[in-house]
Amino acid sequence: MKLILSIALRNLLRQKRRNILLGIAIAFGTFILILTNSFSHGITDTMFKRIVAITYGNVNISATENGNFERQIVHEGDRIKRIIRENNPEVTAVQEAIGVFGQAIGNGRSDIVMIVGVNIHDTLAPEDQKNMEENFAMVEGRFEDLEAPGIANPLIISKEKAEYLNLKMGDVVKARFRDINGQNQAASFTVVGVFQPTNFFMSMPVFVDQKIVKRLAGYKPYEAGQLMINVKDPVKDAVIVADRLQKLLKPGPAAIGCTIGCKVGPAPALVLPFKSDTVSLKLCRKELPLVMGAPDTGYSRTGAVISKTMARESGLSLGDTCVVRYSSKYDAEEGRLKFIVKGIRGDSVLDSRIILVNERDFYKAYYGNLPAFLPDSLRTLLPDSSFKVLDAIPGEWTLLRRISSSEDLMKLYKEISKNKWRSTQVSVSTMYEGASAIIKLEYALNLITLVCVMVLFCIILIGVINTLRMTIRERTREIGTIRAIGMQKKDVRNTFIAETVFLAIFASAAGTVLAFIGMRLLSLININAGDNPMAMLLVSGHLVFVPTVIAVIGYNALIWAIAGATAFFPSRKAANMSACEALRHYE
């Protein structure tokens, strides 16, 4: 083998001009392939690290109400954060995402902004902290000034936005926006800092202390808009954490433990919701027949049903209005649930102390003032899996299925709008699933590049074949000589294949080096994209190239394999020549 390789290298150097021209062509193809792949991967890296990861998190937990995607609210924010931290060692940070779009009015100008709540006390991993500092480099002021005492609603704004609105440090900016309840709000803020974003997309947010944004947007202290979760290794850990949370966030029963007035005094009761879709209402009417009232009225989108025993002991009858009070989990004041009795059922299936209320009225009270945990005396009344009617009783929230792509997310949104669930719809996803379109963009760019370069290589390799045939023709007598002194056919074949592969190796190595030099030079060019959306692909006005070891090695290996395969057939033909015929060859 050593002899074959040395002969191949010697022959490669014998025809320098011809091989240099072929090598330049192969090097150029390698240069284009690696450069474009690094650029497309750089786009993905920029979008994920500097936009998606900051606005979405590595893993995201979001919740909507009544199919209204503008009402993003996780009611049990503190509880879910505790679940995340206690069960996921891969998690480095859990942040609340609170933000509202509004119209900012500066000095003579106005513009659209997104008011984002920031908790400066959030603990981030060193890499996440570094990314934040790079993406939002402060020009004036500090992020800590968001809690500066004696300043009304401190605000930090991007340099571009401040210049457009004619704002400077200490100026007052007014903003109009809608809170999560759909009500118009207005507030004044004081500029205490200016930052320079590395990306055009990040010039839209203005930052305000999270507690202030929560109050202005209508959130309660224990609620969150979304929960953004950062993990140690997003590529490795994000899907694992999301799948684990999907199991951990399985909803418990939505129940309100309360008291109801009876003839002998207040008596404990348990209020459960029933779904208002056609299938669930039909199930309730079948499994829980009414002894008084019409089934279509009792089990309806506005119905409420009590037991026969409760009606007798409380003195309630059809058409009566009942208000029950219950202790709150977080708020100091008691919760109230008001309903009209529209049906009276028997006592045989569910406990007589259970009140069934349509989900619309139930969840309005439930989410408005979350009830305290049920005492054991009432928890035992909850129906178990043996009750068929359990399918018609929703939980404390609806856990949506895991999505696989952006398209799947859109299908899920349509499903939510169609079903009109009254319970909060909670979804768990990773940034790779929620922003799969970016991955598809990279895949499409790489595929287009690969196809174009492969066409180029086909043209180049036609030249390789012709050159190899010409070389074999010129060396016919040499082939006859080495065959006559004992070289085997396979050695002759392997010599020519090795010669072509060596040419491909040297040329692709040169193309790879040129690609890295080109990436370095192109990344130094400062591009002023202004307000062009293409500026999202830049970092501080520069192109980003992110080559990967797998891609570089893979593309080089592919080129070597193609070169070797191309040389195989002409080389085999040369090896199959008769030594006598080869020696008689003359040109």
**How confident is the model at residue 156, as a pLDDT?**
95
Look up tokens 């598809």; give the residue: 440
Nearest CA among 542, 516, 508, 513 for reference residue 527: 542
The answer as to whether 426 is a domain residue is no
The residue whose two tokens read 């400077």 is 168
User: Which residues neighbour 31 within 8 Å (Cβ) at sequence distance 6 or greater?
Assistant: 511, 512, 514, 515, 518
Residue 564 makes CB contacts below 8 A (sequence gap 6+) with 497, 500, 501, 504
Domain boundary among 193, 223, 248: 248
**Would residue 567 count as lying in a domain?**
yes
Residue 506 CA: distances (Å) to CA of 30, 261, 372, 421, 509 = 11, 90, 73, 64, 5
**How many domains are contained in the chain?**
3
Segments forming the whole domain that contains residue 540: 2-51+439-584
Domain shared by 240 and 269, yes or no: no
pLDDT at 573: 64
Say what the pLDDT of residue 431 is: 85
Side-chain half-sphere CA neighbours of 458 within 13 A: 6
Number of CB atoms found within 10 A of residue 558's CB: 17
Q: Match 């492969």 to its residue by tokens.
A: 454
pLDDT at residue 524, as a whole number: 87
Mean pLDDT of the chain: 83
Same domain, 72 and 212: yes
pLDDT recorded at residue 433? 81
Radius of gyration of the chain (CA): 35
Residues with pLDDT less than 50, the chain: 582-583, 585
The values of phi and psi at residue 288, to 5°, are -125, 70
- The SS3 call for residue 173 is strand
Dihedral angle sign, alpha carbons of residues 502, 506, 512, 515: negative
pLDDT confidence of residue 122: 81
36's enclosing H/E stretch is helix 16-47
| Of 345, 370, 396, the domain-final residue | 396
Separation between Cα atoms, residue 463 and residue 386, nearest integer Å = 76
Per-residue pLDDT at 103:
94
Summarize pLDDT for 561-580 with one digit per residue, the tens. Answer: 888 887 777 766 665 565 55
Q: What pLDDT is attached to residue 582?
A: 47
pLDDT at 384: 83
- Does some domain include residue 423? no
Q: Are residues 310 and 457 in the same domain?
A: no
- 463 assigned to some structural domain: yes
pLDDT of residue 585: 45
Residue 498 is assigned to a structural domain of this protein: yes
| Beta-ladder partners of 54 | none
Share of the chain above pLDDT 70, in %: 80
**Two structure tokens written together for 535:** 């500026």
- Which pLDDT score, from 0 to 100, does residue 413 have? 73
- Which among 396, 428, 450 is the end of a domain? 396
pLDDT of residue 523: 86
Same domain, yes or no, for 230 and 152?
yes
- Picking from 208, 203, 207, the residue whose alpha carbon sits closest to that of residue 540 is 203
In this structure, the answer to whether residues 113 and 216 fall within a common structural domain is: yes
Query: Do 383 and 456 belong to one domain?
Result: no
Beta bridge partners of 190: 154, 172
| pLDDT value, residue 564 | 81
- Specify whether 12 is located in the same domain as 148: no
